[in-house]
Amino acid sequence: MPRAALLIFTDLDGSLLDHHSYSWAPASAWLAQLRRANIPLIINSSKTRAEVSALSAELGTSDAPCVVENGAAILLPPRWRQQQEGAVVTLGADIGHIRRVLAELRAQGFAFEGFGDVTPQRVAEWTGLPLPKAKLAWQREATEPLLWHENEQRLEAFTQALAQHQLTTVRGGRFVHVMAKDVDKGRALIWLKARYSTLFGHQCRCLALGDGANDIAMLSAADMPVLIRNDASRVQLPRELKARCYLTREAGPTGWCEGLDHWLRKV
């Protein structure tokens, strides 16, 4: 049972993990300190459940919840569940619903290929990932990446058709991601904060660390936000957030520690 009324949410790539080496070594001392203080470290990532689970075990965060697929699904360890709940809670829509809607839209003439239409081998070709990693990215809970085979105007029509099913599109680099409307890393933080107070009978404060545009909603929802330096993609923060967000001087896990030092010197 968490004693300290504090939850820490973290992005992975470019935040807890170094952008190039994927190492979190500089954060080891802080990770150990959080474990000793019984403070849940909650991964909040665009990665899938399968991609995150091995890493979560290595980091020693398996007994904390974990947010995957950009806030669309939350993995709950047993003591964070309520009656009837399974290990995965999806916010808005699960992959079964999304794929049924996509099948309908394909029947209406929209042309696209989703991860659910192809093998992991094909996903490896699309993404450039080695096959074992492509297999992990291929297993979806609540978002479907697709290759769009028509023009922008048709994508607009497709997005409008999805809206009738409370779904939307989010543009990634190569893929268009189909997911529930109004779902992001910030909504997932708010959901877990509420679940914490339901389960443990008191409020908690949330510290969040991220380095990308898809982390802004999470940082905005946090009491103690940390934007980690990322020279490759400078993130523009909304004015309200900029005024209270700690911006690190260092990138990656070194910056991550700097953010914790700033907010938690006394833990």
Instruction: With CB under 5 A as the rule, give the number of residues binding Mg ion.
Output: 5
Cβ nearer to Mg ion, comparing 13 with 141: 13
- To the nearest whole angstrom, how small is the minimum distance from the Cβ of residue 43 to Mg ion? 11
Q: Report how far Cα 57 is from the mean position of its chain's Cα atoms.
A: 17
Cβ nearer to Mg ion, comparing 11 with 69: 11
The 196-225 contact track toward Mg ion, x by CB under 5 A, reads ---------------xx-------------
Cβ nearer to Mg ion, comparing 14 with 65: 14
Q: Does 11 bind Mg ion (CB under 5 A)?
A: yes
The answer to whether the Cα torsion of 28, 31, 33, 35 is positive or negative is: negative
* CB proximity list for 66: less than 8 A, separation 6 or greater: 42, 43, 44, 45, 49, 52, 53, 56, 74, 75
- To the nearest whole angstrom, how small is the minimum distance from the Cβ of residue 89 to Mg ion? 23
The answer to whether the Cα torsion of 251, 145, 225, 238 is positive or negative is: positive
* CB proximity list for 214: less than 8 A, separation 6 or greater: 46, 70, 184, 185
- Of 237, 231, 182, the residue nearest 208 (C-alpha): 237
- To the nearest whole angstrom, how small is the minimum distance from the Cβ of residue 256 to Mg ion? 11
- To the nearest whole angstrom, how small is the minimum distance from the Cβ of residue 255 to Mg ion? 11
Q: Does 18 bind Mg ion (CB under 5 A)?
A: no
The residue type of 15 is: S
- To the nearest whole angstrom, how small is the minimum distance from the Cβ of residue 19 to Mg ion? 8
Q: Which residue is nearest to Mg ion (CB)?
A: 14
- Binding segment for Mg ion (CB under 5 A), chosen from 10-18, 87-95, 112-120, 200-208, is 10-18
Question: Of residues 13, 18, 141, 184, which one binds Mg ion by CB under 5 A?
Answer: 13
Contact 76, 65 (CB under 8 A): yes
Cβ nearer to Mg ion, comparing 11 with 141: 11
Which are the catalytic amino acids?
Answer: 11
In the chain, the DSSP E strands lie at 6-10, 41-44, 66-68, 73-75, 88-90, 112-114, 144-148, 167-171, 176-180, 205-210, 224-229, 246-251
Q: Does 14 bind Mg ion (CB under 5 A)?
A: yes
The residue type of 250 is: E
* Interface residues toward Mg ion, by CB under 5 A: 11, 13-14, 211-212
